[in-house]
Amino acid sequence: MPAATLPPFPDDVPTHPLLVIDYELIKSRDQHEIDRLWEAATNLGFWYLKNHGVTEEVDGMFDMGAETMALPLEEKMKFEQGDDGISFGYKAAGANAVDATGRLDTVEFTNVAKDDALAWPRVARRAYPSTVNARMESTIAPFIRKSLEINNTLLDVLNNKLGLPPGTLLAKHPIEEFSGSEARVIRNPPTPTSKGQPPKLAIGSHTDFGSLSFLHNRLGGLQVLVPGAETWQYVKPIPGHAICNLGDAMALFSGGILRSNLHRVVPPPGAQSAHERWSLVYFTRPGNSVVLRALVEDSPLIAQAVAKTPEKNFETSATSLEWFTRRIKNQRIKNRTGPETWMASRGTEANPAVV
Ligand SMILES: O=C(O)CCC(=O)C(=O)O
Ligand SMILES: [Fe+2]
């Protein structure tokens, strides 16, 4: 649906402001803008990104999503992601838990692996519905290439601020190594909530699994739990602005200097709740073989941060693939044995062994 026909985000709903970072300035390595990015990355780990130049590709991706989700469920289920902790493919609504009690999510996803989009027409990881294949070259690969370039630029800037030798973080994300990096289109059906009722969660509280997420929203619904706050707060979508957030891998690499913050998705507020909610994410995740741990040998700043927080453990002993598989697998409702399955799906925020 064209964004212009959607009701605006209501004025009377509390929101959490994010810093607006100008990608053009970051690209030209403007020091003041880099300092603002650093502020956002070390405080909440979320920021708006303007002037990213991906608007047309984003529109195409939403069209691809609409074409795919419109297929009969039976057809989509042929490409379902399964219960083994693999994310690529289709995820039906209700396939994941949203909390420890096993309540079900309401969103459907189509996830396309970066490895498949870049290898097309060769199949690298798995097969997809015809609507995905039809746009692999024209829409998905261009979206992924641009998203990769943006995320890599942001990673490179953060690399230097962390005092890491040039290229250290980029080398954890080699384009040719298989990884969990993927593009995701998300559809949530209209879910009006009655006043006084707790919202039905579309996506449960989580930190992102990988390094950096590049998110595009039309309607509200994304919420963050700001450290020290007791209630969840909406992040208001701003037309043409992406929302970027850091994931667990960056929190671990940086010894906790960078933040992977909890967030969730609830139905859009006010009049927006009568509409389908579409969102799109490109997730940059480390290469499958990369071990998730603080890079203490590579940066005195990171070594210092780790030394100052002996109560936290930044040695996961897990590769990126193991971390990612554990988290996805234990969210699947079919794998649920009890609240312990939800705990096993947690990331840096709640895993007893980590952070
Ligand atoms: O739909 C959104 O706004 C956020 C989605 C999200 O957090 C995720 O897929 O990890
Ligand atoms: Fe997320």
Domain with residue 179: its CATH number is: 2.60.120.330
Ligand 1 atom closest to 202 (CA): 1
Q: Check residue 353 and give its pLDDT.
A: 44
The Å distance, Cα 217 to ligand 1 centre, comes to 9
pLDDT confidence band for 355 (50 / 70 / 90): very low
Quote the mean pLDDT of the chain: 95
**Residue 300 included in any domain:** yes
**Degrees, nearest 5: CA angle 228-233-237:** 135
What are the tens digits of pLDDT across the range 233-285? 999 999 999 999 999 999 999 999 999 999 999 999 999 999 999 999 999 99
Domains identified in the chain, total number: 1
pLDDT confidence band for 193 (50 / 70 / 90): low
Residue 82's region, left for phi above 0, alpha for psi from -120 to 50, else beta, is left
**Residue 55 included in any domain:** yes
Rounded mean pLDDT, 66-87: 98
Residue 351 has pLDDT above 70, yes or no: no
**Residue 104 included in any domain:** yes
The residues facing 186 across adjacent strands are 109, 279
Q: Check residue 349 and give its pLDDT.
A: 79
pTM: 0.96
**Residue 149 included in any domain:** yes
Q: Phi then psi for 319, rounded to 5 degrees?
A: -80, 165
Residue whose CA is closest, atom 7 of ligand 1?
A: 264
The Å distance, Cα 318 to ligand 2 centre, comes to 20
Task: Count the neighbouring beta carbons within 10 Å of the beta carbon of residue 88.
Answer: 23
Ligand 1 atom closest to 221 (CA): 3
Residue 78 has pLDDT above 50, yes or no: yes
The secondary structure of 194-217 as a DSSP string is -TTSPPPPSEEEE--SSSEEEEEE
Q: What's the domain range around 70? A: 3-344
**Residue 350 included in any domain:** no
The Å distance, Cα 187 to ligand 1 centre, comes to 10
CA separation for the pair 341, 332 (Å, rounded):
9
Rounded mean pLDDT, 338-349: 92
Tell the residue number behind the tokens 């039309």, with chain if given: 218
**Residue 176 included in any domain:** yes
The Å distance, Cα 47 to ligand 1 centre, comes to 14
Q: Which-ligand-closest: CA of 277?
A: 1
Rounded mean pLDDT, 2-27: 91
Rounded mean pLDDT, 174-179: 97
The Å distance, Cα 222 to ligand 2 centre, comes to 9
Ligand 1 atom closest to 222 (CA): 3
Ligand 1 surroundings by CB, under 6 angstroms = 184, 186, 203, 208, 215, 217, 222, 263, 265, 279, 281
The Å distance, Cα 42 to ligand 1 centre, comes to 20
**Residue 33 included in any domain:** yes
**Residue 355 included in any domain:** no
Residue 21 has pLDDT above 70, yes or no: yes
Neighbours of ion ligand 2 (CB under 5 A): 208
> In 3D, which of 278, 146, 261, 166 has the Cα closest to residue 207?
261
Q: Check residue 5 and give its pLDDT.
A: 86
Q: Which-ligand-closest: CA of 280?
A: 1
* 179: DSSP letter: B
